[in-house]
């Protein structure tokens, strides 16, 4: 009989369990942080401290439960070793939740369905086996040897689970990943676990005096598993770009995309509230395109199209390697290239880092969030009224939505400044940035909240994360159920929160521009500022974006400042597309090797050397799964064209739209049923459609977690 167990009674066993649990699951938190950091996915330290803290508390709970279990089991079978059993219980329980939660969430029907019961029983059996193996591995160890082995075991299991998460999340969605990422992740985990058991047992039987050997061996195997995951990512990366021209003397290019910022909310576009002093100043020093139309009303296709200058690039959820990005052109011309992205849906996972030497993108969906969102306990506490008005979920959303899952502009700007400062003098650079601040939830930091939204209920910025639902709701449900109840005053308040977010973002862009000034490279740097799409605040009975081809969603800011190359203070009234940005930059920086795209260089227009053309035709489209359940939105795929005073939207469901922009500049009065005349636009649209092969559009498969995430962001329902 072991002596150490005898010294501790019931309370002692529970306390030791709590200690082991806090240690073990805390280790998992550290492993998750490390895996995120290894792939450059950033989180502020205080967010990580909070998350690891919560993991430790969870671990305490696991440990107490396992301690209780092992105390009872030892009454039945005195041969069992208490602490080894407790640690086995902690890891078996954690692994069960860890693997079971996403599997139940993604692939299984209700918990009591026969299929779910069968799969969950198998998972439970697997974890019971894990418990047995951990017990067997640790049962012979005492004192310090036990503690060291417990730490090694926890570290390795934590790393393996976090590695599995990384493989599942990070490789998933990558176009070239040939193996099912979940399968690869599971196999890596199970394989590493099996090897760890082999090594640990061998080490235990060879020499009980060297308890670290098994731990070290398993660490090596866990790292091997991670390397395997990493190599899968490597395989999906693109061939390196060949440099064809020397970068010497070329201007730097910084391309800023302010996600979800409407043109009419900036002072330079006539907005009355002083929320954008730095962007307005940028406009004064550059060329302002008054009618820039985004090619899609949502993030993915809009970004894909603008950086390639190709309509067809916006057809898929992952940026196709066959499209040349501006970053690749810059790279060919000797530029150093980097991307700093706040929006989860763009970045390395979706092929958006094509041509970029260095990328900072949104963190993988951390297990923490999934755990809390799906944990029945959280919902049960709410249902029982233990936690009033859903405090936990709301608090978690506040703390993890913008800062945990997306990256704030202040962090991105700091990363960009650091990277720019690392460039050798005279080395031209290209920086592409996406800022998520103005995207909902609208949760502006101080002092901008107090300045532009004083006294506004902060929860209005989280209207889709409403306590009545106990969870986030998709934006269509919001439009159907919640929007009609919002009063005009509510919308004013919501807009003021959105404006305060823009003000914060403006201050951060101002910080970046100021840094360029201080560094003395302002005059050698071309700045492009635009948005991927706008936002709806109740107009047309709609909210958010990805809803329509309305002016609110497609009219975006476009400012290009190119000292010495373009006049300051010029304003262009002709309608232009974001597809025109790439050819414009290629011409301004005299770059070689750019493939022909669908856009036209705006340089002569911006210099005033070309007559304005109000009748230029611009195109935009929204491809989605046809939806008929909400009469508020025009369902089906939408293709739009505008020229002069006419705007025409073709819908795959036959609900076309015709607007007279002279009489109705915001396009609110659909003349389709009133005998409106779309002129040549239907013909223009159908020849354009053929040219860009849009008739080929098909639904692409999306992994369920991406789907979940896009749902949380309001892109799909």
Q: Which residues bind Zn ion (CB under 5 A)?
A: 259, 299, 532
Nearest approach in angstroms of CB 498 to Zn ion is 14
The Cα–Cα gap between 482 and 501 comes to 23
For Zn ion, which is the closer residue by CB, 230 or 342?
Answer: 342
Nearest approach in angstroms of CB 40 to Zn ion is 21
Nearest approach in angstroms of CB 532 to Zn ion is 4
For Zn ion, which is the closer residue by CB, 390 or 539?
Answer: 539
For Zn ion, which is the closer residue by CB, 532 or 717?
Answer: 532
Nearest approach in angstroms of CB 260 to Zn ion is 5
Non-local (6+) Cβ contacts of 79 within 8 A are: none
Instruction: Identify the CA nearest to 33 among candidates 141, 166, 186, 206.
Output: 166
Q: Which residue has the tokens 């329980």?
A: 93
Nearest approach in angstroms of CB 24 to Zn ion is 39
Q: Which residue has the tokens 């939408």?
A: 638
For Zn ion, which is the closer residue by CB, 153 or 343?
Answer: 343
The Cα–Cα gap between 668 and 407 comes to 35
> What is the Rg, in whole angstroms, of the alpha carbon atoms belonging to the chain?
28
Nearest approach in angstroms of CB 436 to Zn ion is 8
- CB-side neighbour CA atoms (13 Å) of 287: 25
Nearest approach in angstroms of CB 380 to Zn ion is 35
The Cα–Cα gap between 556 and 534 comes to 6
Nearest approach in angstroms of CB 554 to Zn ion is 12
Nearest approach in angstroms of CB 297 to Zn ion is 9
For Zn ion, which is the closer residue by CB, 164 or 347?
Answer: 347
Please count the other Cβ atoms lying within 10 Å of the Cβ belonging to residue 478: 22
Altogether, the residues listed in the chain come to a count of 717
Nearest approach in angstroms of CB 545 to Zn ion is 7
For Zn ion, which is the closer residue by CB, 146 or 344?
Answer: 344
Name the burial class of residue 180, with classes exposed (0-12), middle (13-18) and buried (19+) by CB atoms within 10 angstroms of its CB. middle
Q: Using an 8 Å Cβ cutoff, are 97 and 44 in contact?
A: no
Residue 571 dihedral angles phi and psi, to the nearest 5°? -125, 130
For Zn ion, which is the closer residue by CB, 415 or 439?
Answer: 439
Non-local (6+) Cβ contacts of 622 within 8 A are: 296, 297, 298, 546, 548, 549, 637, 638, 640
For Zn ion, which is the closer residue by CB, 259 or 361?
Answer: 259
Mapped onto helix, strand or coil, the DSSP state of residue 600 is coil
Nearest approach in angstroms of CB 343 to Zn ion is 6
The Cα–Cα gap between 625 and 245 comes to 44
Nearest approach in angstroms of CB 422 to Zn ion is 29
The Cα–Cα gap between 241 and 171 comes to 22
For Zn ion, which is the closer residue by CB, 499 or 532?
Answer: 532
The Cα–Cα gap between 430 and 705 comes to 32
Mapped onto helix, strand or coil, the DSSP state of residue 356 is coil
Q: Using an 8 Å Cβ cutoff, are 593 and 244 in contact?
A: yes
Name the burial class of residue 80, with classes exposed (0-12), middle (13-18) and buried (19+) by CB atoms within 10 angstroms of its CB. middle
The Cα–Cα gap between 54 and 137 comes to 28
Name the burial class of residue 486, with classes exposed (0-12), middle (13-18) and buried (19+) by CB atoms within 10 angstroms of its CB. middle
Instruction: Identify the CA nearest to 474 among candidates 486, 460, 463.
Output: 463
For Zn ion, which is the closer residue by CB, 150 or 528?
Answer: 528
The separation between CA 78 and the C-alpha centre of its own chain, rounded to angstroms, equals 51
Please count the other Cβ atoms lying within 10 Å of the Cβ belonging to residue 46: 10
The Cα–Cα gap between 55 and 24 comes to 9
Residue nearest to Zn ion (CB): 299
For Zn ion, which is the closer residue by CB, 342 or 635?
Answer: 342
For Zn ion, which is the closer residue by CB, 299 or 337?
Answer: 299
Nearest approach in angstroms of CB 479 to Zn ion is 18
For Zn ion, which is the closer residue by CB, 336 or 532?
Answer: 532
Structure tokens at 58: 């969870």
For Zn ion, which is the closer residue by CB, 211 or 363?
Answer: 363
The Cα–Cα gap between 431 and 337 comes to 6
The Cα–Cα gap between 137 and 134 comes to 5
Angle between helices 45-76 and 10-38 (to 10 degrees): 140
For Zn ion, which is the closer residue by CB, 5 or 443?
Answer: 443
Nearest approach in angstroms of CB 434 to Zn ion is 8
Nearest approach in angstroms of CB 169 to Zn ion is 20
The Cα–Cα gap between 185 and 665 comes to 52
């Amino acid at each position: 009989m072991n002596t150490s167990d005898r010294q501790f009674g019931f309370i002692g066993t529970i306390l030791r369990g709590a200690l082991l649990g806090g240690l073990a699951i805390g280790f998992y938190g550290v492993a998750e942080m490390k895996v995120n950091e290894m792939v450059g996915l950033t989180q502020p330290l205080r967010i990580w401290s909070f998350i690891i803290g919560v993991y430790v508390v969870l671990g305490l709970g696991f440990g107490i439960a396992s301690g209780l279990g092992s105390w009872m089991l030892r009454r039945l079978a005195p041969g069992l070793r208490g602490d080894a059993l407790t640690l086995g219980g902690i890891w078996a329980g954690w692994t069960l939740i860890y693997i079971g939660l996403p599997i139940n969430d993604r692939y299984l029907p209700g918990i009591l369905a026969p299929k779910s019961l069968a799969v969950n029983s198998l998972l439970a059996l697997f974890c019971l086996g894990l418990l047995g193996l951990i017990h067997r591995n640790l049962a012979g160890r005492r004192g310090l040897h036990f503690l060291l082995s417990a730490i090694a075991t926890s570290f390795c299991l934590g790393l393996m689970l976090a590695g599995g998460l990384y493989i599942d999340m990070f490789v998933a969605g990558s176009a070239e990943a040939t193996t099912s990422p979940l399968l690869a992740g599971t196999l890596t985990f199970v394989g590493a676990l099996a090897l760890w058991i082999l090594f640990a047992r061998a080490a235990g039987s060879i020499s009980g005096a060297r308890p670290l050997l098994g731990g070290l061996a398993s660490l090596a195997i866990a790292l091997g598993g991670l390397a395997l995951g990493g190599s899968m990512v490597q395989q999906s990366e693109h061939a390196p770009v060949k440099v064809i021209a020397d970068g010497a003397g070329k201007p730097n290019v910084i391309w800023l995309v302010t996600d979800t910022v409407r043109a009419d909310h900036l002072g330079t576009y006539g907005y009355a509230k002083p929320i954008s002093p730095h962007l307005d100043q940028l406009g004064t020093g550059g060329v302002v395109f008054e009618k820039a139309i985004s090619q899609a009303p949502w993030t993915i296709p809009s970004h894909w199209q603008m950086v390639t200058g190709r309509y067809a690039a916006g057809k898929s959820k992952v940026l196709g390697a066959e499209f040349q990005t501006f970053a690749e052109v810059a790279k060919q011309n000797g530029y150093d290239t980097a991307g700093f992205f706040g929006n989860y849906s763009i970045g390395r996972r979706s092929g958006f880092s094509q041509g970029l030497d260095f990328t900072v993108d949104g963190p993988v969906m951390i297990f923490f969030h999934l755990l809390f969102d799906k944990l029945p306990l959280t919902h049960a506490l709410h249902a029982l009224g233990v936690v009033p008005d859903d405090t936990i979920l709301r608090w978690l959303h506040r703390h993890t939505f913008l800062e945990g899952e997306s990256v704030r502009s202040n962090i991105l700007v700091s990363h960009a400044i650091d990277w720019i400062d690392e460039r050798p003098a005279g080395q031209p650079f290209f920086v592409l940035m996406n800022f998520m601040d103005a995207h909902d939830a609208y949760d502006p930091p101080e002092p901008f909240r107090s300045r532009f939204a004083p006294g506004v209920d902060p929860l209005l910025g989280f209207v889709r994360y409403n306590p009545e639902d106990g969870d986030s709701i998709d934006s269509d449900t919001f439009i159907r159920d919640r929007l009609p109840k919002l009063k005009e005053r509510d919308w004013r308040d919501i807009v003021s929160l959105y404006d305060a977010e823009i003000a914060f973002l403006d201050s951060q862009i101002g910080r970046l521009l100021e840094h360029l000034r201080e560094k003395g490279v302002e005059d050698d740097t071309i700045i492009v500022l635009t948005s991927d799409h706008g936002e709806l605040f109740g107009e047309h009975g709609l909210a958010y974006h990805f809803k329509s081809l309305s002016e609110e969603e497609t009219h975006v800011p476009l400012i290009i400042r190119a000292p010495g190359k373009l006049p300051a203070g010029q304003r262009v009234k002709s309608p232009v597309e974001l597809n025109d940005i790439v050819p414009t930059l290629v011409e301004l920086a005299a770059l070689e090797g750019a493939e022909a795209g669908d856009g036209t260089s705006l340089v002569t227009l911006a210099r005033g050397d070309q007559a304005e053309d109000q009748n230029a035709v611009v195109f935009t489209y929204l491809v989605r799964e046809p939806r008929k359940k909400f009469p508020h939105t025009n369902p089906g795929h939408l293709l739009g064209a505008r020229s002069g005073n006419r705007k025409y939207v073709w819908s795959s469901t036959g609900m076309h739209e015709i607007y007279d922009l002279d009489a109705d500049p915001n396009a609110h009065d659909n003349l389709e049923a009133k005998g409106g005349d779309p002129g040549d636009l239907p013909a223009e649209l159908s020849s354009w459609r053929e040219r860009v092969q849009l008739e080929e559009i098909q639904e692409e498969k999306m992994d369920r977690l991406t789907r979940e995430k896009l749902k949380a962001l309001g892109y799909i329902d």
